[in-house]
């Protein structure tokens, strides 16, 4: 029994979830592995915010069944078998034996996008320092580097409406995201989505790096140079999934190798 379990005598907050690999379809298990790895990578690249935020993934071949984290776990504690299965409305279909639950209000943003964009398998939302900083800048995301130029014409902006996400706001989030895979939520944070977990993670990584470099450049208080308008659209086009290759797919096995090589720092491995 670990320290946390002992200290909360009335609640089962143990994090040693037993493997359900033999109880789910191969497709569901693969989605669980990739989603758990994605949570770990978001933590590894310093994009986690305590126990908050969510990454959701659709189980291929299922009737809109999604996987989401238990509310209360660190991203680096999340394992394949700890993920909760929900329907697109956020109703729980399966969860491990635990007193942790899901954060239904936090799921609302994800649910809206999963419902409106059937081709989207994964939705990722963060509250990073650089993401929040850029989200508050009137100029928005600047096309100041090759990394950020990919978002020119391929990113939406959603105005802040307060923390309570009502049905009306869901419609506006979907409208503001449009056909894109990236959204800056003003005064709030970042969102990415994609046809696979691998691609949604890569898009978030590139968006976060764009925000970090923009904050650094603006803090340097020196005049910045921007690429000419003539190269922006062409460059952005070259980074779209259908143009050369879907970014994130080739990278994924390397990401998994990194997780494996770095170890899990005393937490259960993500593939549990
Ligand atoms: Zn948020």
76-97 pLDDT tens trace: 999 999 999 999 999 999 999 9
Cα–ligand 1 centroid distance for 169 (angstroms): 13
Cα–ligand 1 centroid distance for 135 (angstroms): 12
Cα–ligand 1 centroid distance for 102 (angstroms): 15
In this prediction, residue 243 carries a pLDDT of 82
Cα–ligand 1 centroid distance for 125 (angstroms): 7
In this prediction, residue 161 carries a pLDDT of 92
**What would the two tokens of residue 42 be?**
């978001």
Rounded CA-CA distance 37/60 in Å is 17
Cα–ligand 1 centroid distance for 164 (angstroms): 10
Q: How far is CA 167 from CA 90, 123, 159, in A?
A: 14, 18, 15
CA atoms within 13 A on the CB side of 113: 29
Rounded CA-CA distance 250/261 in Å is 18
Residue 99's CB is within 10 A of a number of other CB atoms, namely: 12
Cα–ligand 1 centroid distance for 109 (angstroms): 9
Cα–ligand 1 centroid distance for 21 (angstroms): 31
CB burial readout 58-70, b (16+ within 10 A) else e? bbeebeebbbbbb
**Model's pTM, two decimal places?**
0.94
CA atoms within 13 A on the CB side of 103: 17
In this prediction, residue 105 carries a pLDDT of 82
* Superfamily of chain region 18-262: Class II aldolase/adducin N-terminal domain (3.40.225.10)
Cα–ligand 1 centroid distance for 53 (angstroms): 6
Cα–ligand 1 centroid distance for 23 (angstroms): 32
Q: Which residue, 85, 87, 49, is CA-closest to 70?
A: 85
**What number of helices (H) and strands (E) belong to the chain?**
9, 8
Cα–ligand 1 centroid distance for 236 (angstroms): 27
Cα–ligand 1 centroid distance for 140 (angstroms): 18
In this prediction, residue 7 carries a pLDDT of 58
Cα–ligand 1 centroid distance for 188 (angstroms): 6
**Residue 202, exposed/middle/buried by CB under 10 A (0-12, 13-18, 19+)?**
buried
CA atoms within 13 A on the CB side of 97: 5
In this prediction, residue 109 carries a pLDDT of 92
Report helix, strand or coil for 44. Answer: helix
Cα–ligand 1 centroid distance for 191 (angstroms): 9
Cα–ligand 1 centroid distance for 166 (angstroms): 14
Cα–ligand 1 centroid distance for 126 (angstroms): 6
The low-confidence residues of the chain, meaning pLDDT below 70, are 1-8, 164-165
Cα–ligand 1 centroid distance for 112 (angstroms): 14
């Amino acid at each position: 029994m670990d320290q946390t379990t002992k200290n909360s005598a009335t609640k089962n907050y143990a994090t040693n979830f037993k493997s359900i690999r033999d109880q789910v379809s191969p497709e569901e298990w693969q989605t669980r592995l990739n989603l758990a790895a994605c949570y770990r990578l978001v933590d590894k690249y310093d994009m986690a915010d305590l126990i908050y935020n969510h990454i959701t993934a659709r189980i291929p071949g299922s009737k809109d069944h999604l996987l989401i984290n238990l509310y209360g776990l660190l991203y680096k504690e999340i394992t394949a078998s700890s993920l909760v299965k929900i329907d697109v409305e956020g109703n729980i279909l399966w969860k491990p034996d635990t007193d942790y639950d899901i954060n239904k209000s936090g799921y609302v943003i994800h649910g809206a996008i999963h419902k409106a964009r059937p081709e989207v398998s994964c939705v990722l939302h963060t509250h990073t320092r650089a993401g929040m900083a850029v989200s508050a800048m009137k100029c928005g995301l600047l096309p100041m580097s090759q990394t950020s130029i990919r978002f020119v014409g391929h990113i939406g902006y959603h105005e802040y409406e307060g923390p309570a996400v009502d049905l009306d706001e869901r419609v506006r989030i979907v409208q503001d995201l449009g056909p894109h895979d990236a959204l800056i939520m003003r005064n709030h944070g970042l969102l990415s989505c994609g046809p696979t977990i691998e691609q949604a993670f890569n898009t978030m990584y590139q968006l976060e790096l764009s925000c970090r470099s923009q904050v650094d450049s603006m803090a340097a208080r020196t005049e910045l140079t921007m690429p000419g308008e003539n190269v922006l659209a062409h460059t952005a086009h070259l980074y779209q999934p259908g143009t050369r290759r879907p970014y994130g797919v080739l990278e994924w096995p390397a990401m998994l190798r990194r997780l494996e090589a770095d170890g899990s720092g005393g937490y259960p491995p993500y593939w549990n």
